[in-house]
Structure 1
Amino acid sequence: MGEFMDQLLVVDDDKDLLKVYEKIFKLNHFDVLTAWDGPDALELIKRKRIGVVVADIIMPKMNGIVLLERIKEINSAIQVIMLTAEGSVSGAVDAVKSGAFTYILKPADIDNLLLNIQKAFEIYRLSEQNSAFKDQMLEKAGMMQLVGQNYRIEEIRQKIDVFADSDAPVLITGESGTGKEIIASQIHYKSNRAEQVFIKVNCAALSENLLESELFGHEKGSFTGADKMHRGKFEVANQGTILLDEIGELSLGTQAKLLRVLQEREFERVGGNGTIRTNFRLITSTNKNLKEEVEKGRFRKDLYYRIHVLPIHLPPLRERKDDIPILANYFTRQISKETSKCISPLSPEIIQALERYSWPGNVRELRNIIERLVVMTSDSEIKWSNLPDELKQGSDSCAVRDDSLGVDVPLLDAKKAFEKQYIIKALSCNQGNVGKTAMKLQLARKNLYKKIKEYDIHL
């Protein structure tokens, strides 16, 4: 059978049968994990590198169909083989329609089961390789991924698709580190200018004189040190897209010159007389409130209305905390590949610490911390002790006492119990309207439906 780096998980409430499976699969060189029920299986899937799951359909706590759905939510590449008795074949067929690799009747023919597990691992690896290849291609094209499922991120994705079809100026606002450049990149690479250049200029990084030379270009001898002609970014960006990052940092003089370029589509190089025509798509971004800057006289009103045609606002990470587990594990996988490490998905304890932190540096800060954790760990798993002090503050990894139940409850279970009651109350306040409740809770509607199903909440 050969050695498999990724693990095989077997889920069955028959503990004796589970031991038999474990022994057989280990003899055939599979790295095997076992679980007695669905919730335990999901915890293992979140923490380990599992490629294939063999699961019984009929189980207490969580049946195999629900387990399949939850597995696909965590990682759609994981292949699931369902084991079914004669009387539940229809359920197994439905499972295959929902994404299971195949189903096998119990008692399973071991040779057939082993063959299907081997095929499932091959499919899993192909899926993982294709996903990695797709990410690499997007990165090579300059189009980074907009990661997250928060309802506001879903709305931004829709805007990107709509705005990409237009040539109108786009203004992207949001705090530093939220991912404004990613939005600009996606708009360009989904537009009809995708084959042309995508130019990025950081307006805050250059002095006024250098910025004008960078944008408009200069003629040879136009100032001290100008020993040759230099084409500016507006000229280079002809037929393509230009991103003016931190446009709120432009001086009023440069703003006036930019306004003319946008109105007339022409300009002169510094020290030159010849008029140069240009045709570019303008995208701007800022962490400032430009409306307030206009009121204070620091930003031209006419330029503001010229660039504020198609607005996109990126929320800070503290306002989309449901995306923190998704982003953290995405960065863990990405940086693990870059550093040739094999780091397991983050544990619930680590995720909870990440969720408690306020993230003043937003997504950029989260990525930097994950990179530090991956680089510094010598193990295959990031542990509590690896976390920086600012993430440990106010955290308690011990069990807490739930006085309403009179029992000791692990923190994760307490959190789930609170979340369930919170959702029930929110639904009640919105007369059971899932759409309104999702907006109030700042969740994507599909994510709220998943939680309603997970907690067995009756609408």
Structure 2
Amino acid sequence: MNPSLLLVTDEEATREAISGEVAGLGASVIHASSGEEALEILTSQPVDGIITGLKLKGIDGLTLLKGIQEIDEQLPVIMVTAYGTVAAAVKAMKAGAFDFLEKPFDQDDVRHTVQKALAMTRLVAENRVLREELERQYDFSAIIGTSPQVVEILRLAGDVAVTNATALISGESGTGKELLARAIHYNSGRGGHPFVAINCATLPENLLESELFGYESGAFTGAEKRKIGRFELAAGGTLFLDEIGEMTLAVQVKLLRVLELREFSRLGSTETLRADVRLIVATNRDLADLVSKRLFREDLYYRIHVFPITIPPLQERTQDILPLARHFLLELVERTGKMVTDIRPEARRILLNYGWPGNVRELKNVLERAVILTQDNSIGPEHLPLRLQEERVSLANVAVSLPRQGLSLEEVERSLLKQALERSRHNKSKAARLLGMSRATLRYRLKKFSLDAE
């Protein structure tokens, strides 16, 4: 669809000169002879830009500009003046005009100015579409699940979204911590401002500090020009710190200062900048345990532990597996064009019985692989990885015999608990999965045998 420009002038010579150049750019021209007529047209049909004189019959160009801004403040308005004084141009630009054209017209200048205005309108429209898509993508309704755990997570997320409180999202890798963080942001009062994410585990200490706070030219070797940090980029919006448990103690001190004073400085600068951001942090580690081991600052822990939300592993909410699988299947159909619409009963049973150590991310990857492999409209066991189809080892298949002299059942339990912790590198969710119990049950048993502090 060709762009359209509204040309507001009662001068025939101006109308002919500008209309010819605009038509050459593939745009259509709508004519209005007065400011009042222009405003009437704007209320009935959309346009991509406006060219108007400063001197008009009825209301003048500056008054028309104010009326246009009340209808659409992002619509570019080009002012035409025969009075090419600096004062007239400055007044129009200060009032919000996009640019101005001076009589007598230079053809190249007219074309260039109109092209810039139309390009800005396209960019604004694209940004609006992207913004609407982001809002749809990260609406709370986009978080799939019917389990009581997910219902409670959404309730908590909705409660904290309307505040500026720091949210701490805990959960294993792949459970959807960043998705939930984005949903909180886009459903908050800061949703129209940036969401800036950084993974604290992927950067060494010196790089993480410069990424967070930015730096000035010459701040250190290799700093050739100023770099804006994530705190500045997130101004007015949300800064998401993923895997905050991996942050070194030195950077923790500087983060704590920002949270306490709401201000910071770029590396190599003495200028103090305001930190107008909402903080959401996430971790797959037990921060309280890190505090007890002096690997995480206690004061920072209490600063970020304002509103904790825990996302349980997928194994603990099997009720969500099939709804998630169907959701991913629909996404993949839309993306690939393959009409795979069904998961056969045996494949569904395999999905439900698998432990999902990689959580939701692993489920999504498994479904994508299956859609690629299938040659019909359904997914069967043959399209799923073999690891999913390996049955869990049960005691019925393991030779367990009681020694003649007997044994202490508590010692056996204690030994198995210690082995599970060692094999999982003290990740309690993974240890619980190895033992076929819930995380809460594991915590109880660890406490019973005084293993919770080890």
Per the alignment, residue 290 of structure 1 pairs with 287
TM-score by length of 1: 0.55
2:295 pairs with 1:302: no
For residue 267 of structure 1, what is the aligned residue in structure 2?
264
How far residue 227 of structure 1 moved from its aligned partner, in angstroms, is 0.9
Q: Distance in 1 between matches of 2:145 and 2:329?
A: 15
1:202 is the counterpart of 2:199: yes
State the Cα distance separating 1:387 from its structure 2 match. Answer: 1.5
Look up the match of 2:356: 359
Residue 254 (1) aligns with residue 251 (2): yes
| 2:378 counterpart SS class | coil
Within-5 A mapping of 1:15-54: none
Give 1:348-427 correspondences, 5 Å limit.
Answer: 348-394=345-391
Contact 2:342 2:377 in 1 (8 A): no
- How far 1:343 sits from its partner (Å)? 0.4
Q: Which runs of 4+ in 1 moved over 3 A?
A: 134-142
Partner of 1:153: 150
- Partner of residue 138 from structure 2, selected from 109, 119, 143: 143
Q: Could you list the per-position Cα deviations for residues 188-223 of structure 1 after superposition, in whole angstroms to 9, with x for gaps in the alignment?
A: 000000000000010001111111010000000111
Q: 1:142 to 1:262 in 2, by over 3 A?
A: farther
* Residues 135 and 186, structure 2, Cα contact 8 Å, conserved in 1: no
User: 1:331-355 CA distances to partner (integer Å, 9 max, x unpaired)?
Assistant: 1111111111100221221111001
> Partners in 2 of 1:137 and 1:147 — Cα distance?
19
Deviation at 1:383, TM superposition (A): 2.0
Helix, strand or coil at the partner of 1:285: strand
Which residue among 232, 242, 245 is the counterpart of 1:245? 242
Query: What is the CA–CA distance in structure 2 between the aligned matches of 1:194 and 1:387, rounded to whole Å?
Result: 39
Residues 71-129 of structure 1: per-residue CA shift (max 9 Å, x gap) = xxxxxxxxxxxxxxxxxxxxxxxxxxxxxxxxxxxxxxxxxxxxxxxxxxxxxxxxxxx
For 1:323 and 1:141, the matched residues in 2 are separated by 21
**1:70 — aligned with what?**
none
| Aligned partner of residue 337 in structure 2, secondary structure | coil
Distance 1:323 1:138 in 2: 25
**Amino acid of the structure 1 residue aligned with 2:314:** L
1:319/1:257 Cα in 2 relative to 1: closer, same or farther (>3 Å)? same
| Equivalent residue, structure 2, for 1:172 | 169
Q: CA separation in 1, counterparts of 2:271 and 2:245?
A: 29
In the superposition, relative to structure 1, how do residues 372 and 140 fare at CA in structure 2: closer, same or farther (>3 Å)?
farther
- The one-letter code sitting in structure 1 at the alignment partner of 2:208 is L
Alignment correspondent of 2:331: 334
The letter for the 2-side match of 1:199 is: V
Looking at structure 2, the residues matched to 288 and 392 of structure 1 have their Cα atoms a distance apart, in angstroms, of 29
- Number of aligned residues: 264
Partner AA of 1:165 in structure 2: V
Give yes or no for contact 1:142–1:185 (8 Å, CA) kept in 2: no
Q: Compute the displacement of 1:138 (Å).
A: 4.4
Structure 1 contact 174–286 (Cα < 8 Å) conserved: yes
User: How many Å separate the matches in 1 of 2:305 and 2:137?
Assistant: 25
Task: Specify the code of the residue in structure 2 equivalent to 1:143.
Answer: Y
CA distance in 2, matches of 1:189, 1:347: 36
Instruction: Give the counterpart letter for 1:252 in structure 2.
Output: L
Q: 1:322 aligns with which of 319, 322, 346?
A: 319
Q: Is the 8 A contact 1:242 1:283 kept in 2?
A: yes
Compared CA separation, residues 137 and 393, structure 1 to 2 (3 A): farther
TM-score of the superposed pair, with normalisation by structure 2: 0.56
Q: 1:366 and 1:375 mapped to 2: Cα distance?
A: 14
Instruction: Return the offset for 1:137.
Output: 4.8
Find the aligned partners of 1:263 and 1:254 in 2 and give their Cα distance: 14
Cα 1:174–1:380 shift into 2, 3 Å: same
SS in structure 1 at match of 2:372: helix
What does the per-residue CA deviation read over 1:292-351, in whole Å, with 9 as the maximum and x for residues that have no partner? 000000000000000000110000000000111111111111111111110022122111
Provide the rounded CA distance (Å) in 1 between the counterparts of 2:332 and 2:131.
13
Question: Given the alignment of the two structures, is residue 184 of structure 1 paired with residue 197 of structure 2, yes or no?
Answer: no
Task: Assess if the C-alpha contact under 8 Å between 1:198 and 1:240 holds in 2.
Answer: yes
Q: Deviations over 1:333-379 (max 9, x none)?
A: 11111111100221221111001100000000000110111122222
Match of 2:274 in 1: 277
* Structure 1 residue runs without a partner (length 5+): 1-133, 396-439, 443-459
1:394 to partner: Cα distance: 2.6
Aligned-residue Cα RMSD (Å) equals 2.1
**Identity in percent:** 47
Retained in 2: the 8 A contact 1:245–1:286?
A: yes
- Tell me the distance in 2 between the aligned counterparts of 1:265 and 1:392: 52
**1:218 is paired with a residue of what secondary structure?**
coil
Written as runs of structure 1 = structure 2, the 5 A alignment for 1:97-116 is: none
Write the deviation string for residues 361-411 of structure 1: whole angstroms up to 9, x where unpaired: 00000001101111222222112211211122239xxxxxxxxxxxxxxxx
Tell me which amino acid in the other structure corresponds to 1:380.
N
Match of 2:310 in 1: 313
Answer yes or no: is the 8 Å Cα contact 1:197–1:237 preserved in 2: yes
Structure 2: gaps (5+ residues): 1-128, 393-437, 441-454
Question: Residues 139 and 337 (structure 1 numbering): CA distance in 2 closer, same or farther, change over 3 Å?
Answer: farther
Q: Secondary structure at the match of 1:228?
A: coil
Do 1:172 and 1:313's aligned partners in 2 also have CA atoms closer than 8 Å?
yes
1:337 counterpart letter in structure 2: E
Q: What SS does the corresponding residue of 1:230 show, helix, strand or coil? A: coil
Note the C-alpha offset of 1:277.
Answer: 1.1
Return the alpha-carbon distance in structure 2 between the equivalents of residues 292 and 217 of structure 1: 31
